[in-house]
Copies of this chain bind each other. A is one copy, B any other.
Amino acid sequence: MRLRQIEIFYHVYREGSISSAARELHVSQPSVSKVLRYAEDQLGFALFRREKGRLFATPAADELFVEIEDIYNRISAFDRTTQNIRKRKGGHIRFGVLPSLSLDLLPECIATMRLADPEMSFEVTTLHSSEMNLSLLEKRCDICIGFGNEADERLSSQRLGDAELLLVAPFGCEGIPKGEVDLGFLHQADFIGLQDSGPAGVLLSKSMADREIVPHEVVTAHTYHIALSLVSKGVGISVVDQYTAASSSENDLTKHHFVDPLILPVCAVSHRDSQQPELIESCLAALSKVVKLMSSSQN
């Protein structure tokens, strides 16, 4: 079946009539009639029964429509993408970024880069650490930003700056010292853990294991949002990276540095043989600048 035949079947099925499908498609009625008939000839079975000058969908049409509807929607989305590409003036970068960096760090970076070059456009997808390399290698995105970097010789990684893990506690939580907190504070404390939290989780559990610190994990949350919400409700304390902490809208919680800071590298990874190396390079420079700025301004 040709694309035009699919489009016409889609509209005729939905409208229930050739004439109104023709109006919707801005073509003549005989044109639609002919294409539909031709499609049926090629398929070898009828899509509609003609009775008393009207159309009635056959069971085969019902069955095909289920698949066609989906295809049609994707083709429409694809067409929009081609429009966007055509209209573009400046460069276009597709970011893959950790959920925890997607609310604060990346928007800040994009805003800065747009100031420098208002013609540029961006695309943002959230990815987990484990998906980033594959996404880059399949050229589904251009730059991935996460904590740490898995080695792959086709990819190049650049450290943008550091992220610090902070203790978050309910407002007025007792026993927390004024200044910095020792990691040992977590021992036996009511703790809200994060499942599948990638390098940040690895760093934290390793540091705790080294000192035989065992918190009392009362809840294991699957998203940072839920974890922070639980903290602000006084369920327990938690440890998250500074960007997650900064992006939180909860105001019933306090943030604390550790005496021995837990530092993670914030890295940008990209494909070595990109088709637009200068663009990537300038983006990485801008990112690095913004990350350093944000790290120093935050407390």
Contacts and interface: CB of A to CB of B under 8 A. Distances in A.
Interface of A: 1-4, 6, 43-45, 49, 56-60, 62-68, 70-71, 74-75, 77-79, 81-82, 85-86, 92, 94, 139-140, 142, 275-276
How many of these chains are in the complex? 2
B81 A63 contact: yes
Given A74-B71, A275-B59, A86 B139 contact: no
Nearest to A65: B139
A44 B70 CA distance: 27
A45 B82 CA distance: 9
Contacts of A3: 2-4, 6
Contact of A82 (B1, B4, B71): B1
A277 to B, nearest CB: 11
A67 B78 contact: yes
Contacts of A66: 139-140
Contacts of A78: 1, 64, 67-68, 71
A85 B70 contact: no
A111 to B, nearest CB: 22
Contacts of A1: 78-79, 82
Contacts of A68: 78
Given A43-B86, A81-B67, A86-B43, A59 B276 contact: yes
A70 B71 CA distance: 9
A56 B274 CA distance: 11
A1 B81 CA distance: 11
7 contacts: A1-B82, A43-B86, A56-B275, A63-B94, A64-B78, A64-B85, A70-B74
Nearest to A142: B59
Contacts of A44: 86
Contacts of A71: 71, 74-75, 78
Contact of A58 (B45, B59, B275): B275
A212 to B, nearest CB: 32
A45 to B, nearest CB: 6
A85 B65 contact: no
A58 B276 CA distance: 9
Contacts of A62: 139, 275
A63 B92 contact: yes
A82 B59 contact: no
Q: Which of A58, A62, A94 has the most CB of B within 10 A?
A: A62
